[in-house]
Structure formats: C-alpha cells, structure tokens
Structure 1
Amino acid sequence: MKQAFFPRAETVLDGIYVDLVRSLYAAFIPSVIMSVGFVAGGVLMVRETGDMALALIVAAGTLASLIRLAVAFGGREEALDPGLGVERAQRLEHRFAATYLAFAVCLGAFGARVFALPATGVHLFTVTLLVGYGAGVSAGIALRPRLAVSSMVIGIVPGIVAAFAVPQQIYWATAAMMVALLAGGIRSLLDRYRFTVREISRRITFGNLARTDGLTDLPNRLALREWFEEHVTLNPRAGLVAVHCLDLDGFKAVNDQFGHPVGDALLAAVGKRLSYIIRDTDMAARLGGDEFAVVQCGMKHPEEAAVLARRIEAAIRQPFRLGGEVARISTCIGYAVSDDRAEDLEPLISRADEALYIAKRRGGGIVAQVGDEPGEIAAAA
C-alpha cells in the first residue's frame, strides 16, 4: 500500500490506513479554536506593535486557516464514506496535509517574528498560542504521526529558537519549558498512535474473521448481506440484480468415498472456481454446507443472469484434482432477478432457493424465478 504524504516506515493494512486518514477529518473543533485564536490574537498584536512584517504573516496565516478549515470541513463527508478506499484516502490525506503544513509555516514565522519584537506584552500570548497549537495537534491528528510531528516542529520550533535568542533568563527558561512540552507531546502522540493501530488492527481482524467462511475464504452470509446493501441497495447504478443459489450434486458421495479432508478441499476448490468466473463487481459467498450464493449486479438484461448460471454449471462440472484424487460433481442452480433496488437480499435468496428446490426436484439443471409468485417459475436450461 502506498503512503500518501511521507514515505512510510510502518506497514499497516489498507483498512487501518483508511481509518487513520478518517481520523484527520473527525477532529474539526481544535482547528477552529486554533484558527480563531491565531486570527484574533494576531490582529491585536499587529495593532499593538504596528509591525508590517507581522501583519503580512497574520494575513497569510488567516488565509491558510480559512483554506485549512474549508478542506477539513469539505472532506468530512467523503472521509466518512463507508466505501472509502486507499486511493481516495490518499488524496484526502494529501489535501489535508498540504493545508495543515501551510498553516504551521505561518505559525512558525509568527512565533519567530513576535519574539524578535521589543513589545514584551505580546510574548506571553504567543507562548500560549504555541503551546495550545501543540496540544491541538496531539488531540486532532496524532494518528498520522509524521504529519503531526512535522506540523509541531515547523509551527513551534522557530518561536522556541527566537525565545532562546532573547538575552534574558526568563525567556531561556520559557523556551526550555516549551522544548520539554514539545518532546513530551511528541512522545505521547507516538504512544497513542501505536496503541490505536493495534486496536484498529485487532478490530479489523476480528471483523474479517466474523465475515469470512473459514473453509473456503469466501464471504459468509453476514458479509454478503453487508456487501449487498453497499453495492446494490445504496448504489444508484446497480442495474438489474440476480441472486444465484446452488448446491453440489455428488458432494456426499465424494465425502463418503475419499473422506472429509478431501470433501473440505473440494468445497475450497469450488469457492475458488466461483471467485474466478465472476466479475469484480459480483460477489460469491458460502451459505453453509455445500450451499453457495452468487450476487450478480449491474446487468442490463435478465439473459445475463442465465449466461452466468450456465458458466457456473459448466465450471463445477469439470473434474476437481485434489491431491492424488479426482472428484466429479455437478450442481443445481436456482436464480432470481430483480430490478428493484429497494428489495432486500433475503427475499431474493428465498426466491432463488425456491427455484433451486424445483431444479433439484427435476433432477438437476438451472431454474430461474421470473416473477414474484411461485407459479411463475420457468426452466432456464
């Protein structure tokens, strides 16, 4: 997986990376507080000092703040999209990082300039602003540590260096305290990042296990239902949808003849064949035992479902070489077609199951459910 902003030293799963990018857009309030504080304090300091260089820095920082808030607010809906993938997440992170670092540069220049001015009354507020910025970064974007650390260093260190340059011990002590707070903040956010990555990884791992059939590595019924909702129910371009239900004729004989290990290997092989012959836009799942389902979406004509059903039947009819054994099986298939995106998966599976039952009663082949009533079932092959 590619890293969107910095070359990555850590290796995390795509799902973890996407969740970490989402966290950038979840913490909006700290950015608002920091922006308001910077603009309000900057205007007061410019009025107090009359310094034109400071005025230009405040103007640039104000513009960077507005752009940063617009990007953070405008990207929240996309960041929270359940279908967010790695490539889109990378673009979101890149935009966010660019605006965040732009403001950090302005803040760093602001701190350096303020401490170079003789007006000591504005120095106290600047220290508060810099420390508050560090706290806001730790609270808001700690889960992207390289961006967070870079922002803190760029935004705070110039002010620290300028404070050390003031020939007064109180400024040296203040600068040293800011260094300690910066180091402690960086350490804390790195610890938080490591802990959060472990927790997200654990959550994704357990979630995948709960949604994957352990024998075939196909999605199970729960995962199929979630996929259907995302890719069909919520997809305005889903088109016609077909659900194919099938079971294996001759599977019990293979189990009895060769034993359960070969039977398990046969189920896994069937799962691989189904995954191979369907499109990337379709989904195959194991429902249990020797029962499988395939959801086919984006069709323009019902005949496309019949074509896929025949391909499935032909693929499973081919011999399976399992270790030193050769197993031959066939399949019965029942499928139902719907043009109603509001129709739930379960009624479609029920209709396909009904067609499958008739196919089995007839001794095999493919049967299509062509209407809503059981009587409207016709042979497809």
Structure 2
Amino acid sequence: MKRVFFPRAETVLDGIYVELVRSLYAAFIPSLIMSVGFIAGGCLAVRETGDMTLAIIVALGTLTSLIRLAVAFGGRKEAFDTGLGLARAQRLEQYFAVAYLAFAACLGAYGVRIFTLPAPEAHLFTVTMLVGYGAGVSAGMALRPRLAIASMAFGIVPGVTAAFMVPNESYWATAAMMTALLAGGIRSLLDRYRFTVREISRRITFGNLARTDGLTDLPNRLALREWFEEHVTLNSRAGLVAVHCLDLDGFKTVNDEHGHPVGDALLAAVGKRLAYIIRDTDMAARLGGDEFAVVQCGMRHPEEAAVLARRIEAAIRQPFRLGGRVAKISTCIGYAVSDDRAEDLEPLISRADEALYIAKRRGVGIAAHTTEEIAVPAAA
C-alpha cells in the first residue's frame, strides 16, 4: 500500500479545499460594512414604521450579524495557520456557514416585511442594501459557491419576490433589475471559482513536486525542513526529537551489477520500507543518492531512538525482491537526540551524520551522537 507522506491537507484536493476555506475569513470588511448598514437602516425603518414585527426581525438580524462578525474575526487566526488541516478547515467552514446563513435568513425576512409596509424611503434603502449584500457575497464568498448561492437565495430572493408583489411598475422594474444582477453575480462567482480552483491546484501540484523526491515519492530535504519546523519547532508537545541518518551498504554493487533501473527500484523499495515502519507522527525523507533521514518526535526517553534505529537496520537487512531479482543490502545508521525545540534541523542532521561516519568507520550498524560523546548502542 502506498503511504501518503504529507499530511492529508497537503494533498492536492484537500489543499485546494483548505485554501478555499481560508478565503472565507479573508473578507471581513464587507461583512462589517453590511452589518453596520443593516443595523442602522433597520433601526431607521423601525422608527419610521413603528412596526413591531419589523423590530423583532431587526433585533434578530442584529444578533446574527454580531455573531457572524465574531465568528469571522475570531476564526481568522486559525484559518490562516500554516498547519491548518482538513478536519479543522471543515469545522471552520461549518461555523462560518451557520452564522452567515442565519444572518441571510434575517435579511430575507427583513426584505419581505419592509415591502409590505408603506415606507418608500425604507424601500429605497433596502434595495441598496440587498444589491450591496449580493455584491459582497459575490466578492467575498465566490470560492465557496454553494454557500454563496445559498446566502443569496436566503438573503435576496425573498425581498425581490416581495418587491414583485407591490402593485407598482417601478417596483416591478426594480425587482427585475435585481433579479438580473443576482443572476449575473452568480454566473460571475462560478466563473471565478473555476478559474481560482485551477490556479490553486496548479500551485499546490508544483509545490508538492518541488518538495517530493521523484524516485521514491518521499519528501526531499526542503520538505523535511518545512515539516520539522511545523511539527517540532512550533509544536510545544514535540517531546524529545531524534534525527536518524543512514546510507545503504551494498547499493553501489547492486547498481553496478544489475543496472540503474534495478538500483532505482531498490531505492524506491527502501523508501517504502522506511515509510512502513515509522509512525504517522514521524517523517522519512531521501536526502540524495542512497542517503535517507528519519525524524522521530514525541519521544519520552532517548532509548526509543535506539529502538527505531534497530528496527530500521533490521528492515533494510531483509532481502528485496525486485522483479526477478533478489537484492541484499545493509545499512549504517547514525542518530542524534535533542530536547531543545529551538534547535534547527540542520545541526541535528550534522550530528547524526557524524554518528553515521563513526558507525561506518567502526564497522558497526548503529551509532548515537550525544552531547558528551558518540555511543554505540548494544545490538538487539
């Protein structure tokens, strides 16, 4: 089974979804303007008409509007977190949708009620507000078209329908124009959505290709550095961290005797074995040639690093079946353990490389680098 080496949110489809959800939280100002306009216009309309039903609708609309602003503002930090994943993005979208649709329903009820009352000045302001709402939704929510269209349907269609019911040709013409603008806005946001999705997909795909080793499908050094910063440096619960560096003893012989295609297949098979034996919280990467690295985090005791190193050594020692051939290789491993989350990846790799050199020089499989000395763990 092929292992997904990047977090699920970083696959192309999920990465697109996360970016689209982020766009909802980027358009805070239009929501703020709409809320201020609704509250001010609603209060003036209530004062002009003295209608209690309208007053209740305005009160509910004010409440849902403030909730909508609180959700939009309060979720911005999480939405633009570089580590935002699929599950968190889905939750953020649900919160946003509930708050937004609740306000849209109040706006729709307001439009229906206001056009049944003899208040021409309030009617004029309501038309302006509904058109502005449609423009704001089209601009700020175009990348989530289902939510945008539902918001327009709840917020604008009831008022437009009520305007059509007023026995006046000017109202009919106004309602017809609002309907045309609504249809045009929906068409525009759908076109923008399709174009933006293609652009985001292309950007994420190229980004992943730049961070993935084309031979083994493992992350490359750049991706490993980014993963380390996110999951170790910025993670307060990372615990002890170990970096294992290894190369393949006997790989050159296989490559020379059987050719580069077999050598490439061997490297790919090694990558799959490494991915299989590490935990989901760890990361394996190909640094180049026959050199690999594994970052192990969340440890409670340094001995856990020695256990993983022995597992890696045992896994690589098992024969590889490559088509009709069987290849046998071994590995030397050097690893370094750190409890300092502020330590960068590169110094840890350097220390693990130093331990790897010692292991190869001594002719042993595994060597550990500590702050005091290079130690050779006991064999399993």
TM-score class normalised by the smaller sequence: over 0.9
Secondary structure at the aligned position of 2:279 is classed as coil
What one-letter code is carried by the residue in structure 2 that aligns with 1:232? V
Report if the CA contact (8 A) 1:134-1:156 is conserved.
Answer: yes
What one-letter code is carried by the residue in structure 1 that aligns with 2:61? G
Corresponding residue of 1:82: 82
Corresponding residue of 2:375: 378
> Does 2:255 align with 1:258?
no
**1-structure distance, mates of 2:79, 2:365:** 46
**2-structure distance, mates of 1:357, 1:233:** 26
Report if the CA contact (8 A) 1:321-1:327 is conserved.
Answer: yes
Shift of 1:168: 1.2
Secondary structure at the aligned position of 1:81 is classed as coil
What one-letter code is carried by the residue in structure 1 that aligns with 2:98? A
**2-structure distance, mates of 1:298, 1:104:** 46
Report if the CA contact (8 A) 1:331-1:364 is conserved.
Answer: no
What one-letter code is carried by the residue in structure 1 that aligns with 2:376? A
- TM-superposition CA deviations, 1:51-72 (whole Å, max 9, x none): 1111111011000101111111
Report if the CA contact (8 A) 1:367-1:380 is conserved.
Answer: yes
What one-letter code is carried by the residue in structure 1 that aligns with 2:47? R
Shift of 1:379: 1.4
Within-5 A mapping of 1:177-216: 177-216=177-216
> Does 2:329 align with 1:329?
yes
Q: Identity of counterpart residues, as a percentage?
A: 85
**2-structure distance, mates of 1:225, 1:313:** 24
Secondary structure at the aligned position of 1:135 is classed as helix
Within-5 A mapping of 1:309-320: 309-320=309-320
Corresponding residue of 2:175: 175
Shift of 1:334: 0.6
Shift of 1:363: 2.4
Corresponding residue of 1:134: 134
Corresponding residue of 1:160: 160
Secondary structure at the aligned position of 2:214 is classed as coil
- TM-superposition CA deviations, 1:171-196 (whole Å, max 9, x none): 11100000000000000000111111
Shift of 1:275: 0.3
Secondary structure at the aligned position of 1:26 is classed as coil
Shift of 1:216: 0.1
**1-structure distance, mates of 2:375, 2:70:** 57
| Ranges in structure 2 where 5+ consecutive residues have no aligned partner | 1-11
**2-structure distance, mates of 1:119, 1:290:** 79
**2-structure distance, mates of 1:378, 1:108:** 72
**1-structure distance, mates of 2:153, 2:216:** 50
- TM-superposition CA deviations, 1:60-87 (whole Å, max 9, x none): 1000101111111111111111111111
What one-letter code is carried by the residue in structure 2 that aligns with 1:156? I
**2-structure distance, mates of 1:97, 1:369:** 52
**1-structure distance, mates of 2:121, 2:284:** 69
What one-letter code is carried by the residue in structure 2 that aligns with 1:98? V
Corresponding residue of 1:36: 36
**Aligned residues between the structures:** 367
**1-structure distance, mates of 2:81, 2:188:** 29
Corresponding residue of 2:8: none
**1-structure distance, mates of 2:162, 2:298:** 62
**2-structure distance, mates of 1:46, 1:328:** 84
Between 34-43 and 48-57, report the one with greater CA deviation. Answer: 48-57
Shift of 1:93: 0.7
Report if the CA contact (8 A) 1:333-1:365 is conserved.
Answer: yes
Within-5 A mapping of 1:64-143: 64-143=64-143
**2-structure distance, mates of 1:378, 1:49:** 85
**2-structure distance, mates of 1:162, 1:238:** 59
Within-5 A mapping of 1:235-314: 235-314=235-314
**2-structure distance, mates of 1:17, 1:259:** 43
Corresponding residue of 1:47: 47
| Ranges in structure 1 where 5+ consecutive residues have no aligned partner | 1-11
What one-letter code is carried by the residue in structure 1 that aligns with 2:97? A
- TM-superposition CA deviations, 1:150-204 (whole Å, max 9, x none): 1011111111111111111111110000000000000000011111110110011
TM-score normalised by L of structure 1: 0.95
Corresponding residue of 2:350: 350
Between 73-82 and 177-186, report the one with greater CA deviation. Answer: 73-82
What one-letter code is carried by the residue in structure 1 that aligns with 2:277? I
Report if the CA contact (8 A) 1:39-1:58 is conserved.
Answer: yes
- TM-superposition CA deviations, 1:78-99 (whole Å, max 9, x none): 1111111111111111111011
**2-structure distance, mates of 1:37, 1:378:** 70
**2-structure distance, mates of 1:45, 1:118:** 11
**2-structure distance, mates of 1:280, 1:357:** 28
Corresponding residue of 1:7: none
- TM-superposition CA deviations, 1:338-358 (whole Å, max 9, x none): 111110000000000011111
Secondary structure at the aligned position of 1:333 is classed as strand
**1-structure distance, mates of 2:299, 2:143:** 41
Secondary structure at the aligned position of 1:310 is classed as helix
What one-letter code is carried by the residue in structure 2 that aligns with 1:199? E
**2-structure distance, mates of 1:64, 1:198:** 34
Root mean square deviation, CA, Å: 0.9
Secondary structure at the aligned position of 2:217 is classed as coil
Shift of 1:231: 0.5
Report if the CA contact (8 A) 1:105-1:154 is conserved.
Answer: yes
Secondary structure at the aligned position of 1:13 is classed as helix
Between 185-194 and 159-168, report the one with greater CA deviation. Answer: 159-168
Corresponding residue of 1:9: none
| Structure 1 residue ranges (4+ consecutive) displaced by more than 3 angstroms after TM superposition | none
**1-structure distance, mates of 2:195, 2:46:** 43
**2-structure distance, mates of 1:239, 1:153:** 50
Shift of 1:364: 3.8
**2-structure distance, mates of 1:183, 1:254:** 65
